[in-house]
Amino acid sequence: MSIAGTTCYPGLLTKKKLRYPVDLVALLDRDGACFARVQWARDGFSIMTVRSDGNKLTISWDEDNERIARQRYLQMRARFRSSR
């Protein structure tokens, strides 16, 4: 149900964006306006990793996990560059 033209949609979208990690908010803007997405969708993201043996791990993705992942990435990148 698209409600982009109604007066309630911008307020609902703004409230939903406040609960998402800053870097992921743009995902809400990539698609058309949808009342169900901003009214009933979960407030967060999950990431599932599947290992080669089939084991799965699902974690909630929040700003803290984003920060930790960035730090680990930068550490690994620095180690890789220094080993060349």
Residue 44 pLDDT greater than 90, yes or no: no
Q: What is the mean pLDDT of residues 25-53?
A: 75
pLDDT value of residue 27: 67
**pLDDT > 90 fraction of the chain, expressed in percent and rounded:** 21
For 1-84, where are the E strands, in sequence order? Answer: 45-50, 56-61
Residue 80 pLDDT greater than 80, yes or no: yes
60 closest CA partner among 43, 40, 76: 43
pLDDT value of residue 58: 92
Q: What is the mean pLDDT of residues 21-34?
A: 68
Given a contact cutoff of 8 angstroms between Cβ atoms, the answer to whether 33 and 3 are in contact is yes
Domain ranges of the chain: 8-82
pLDDT value of residue 1: 46
Given a contact cutoff of 8 angstroms between Cβ atoms, the answer to whether 49 and 56 are in contact is yes
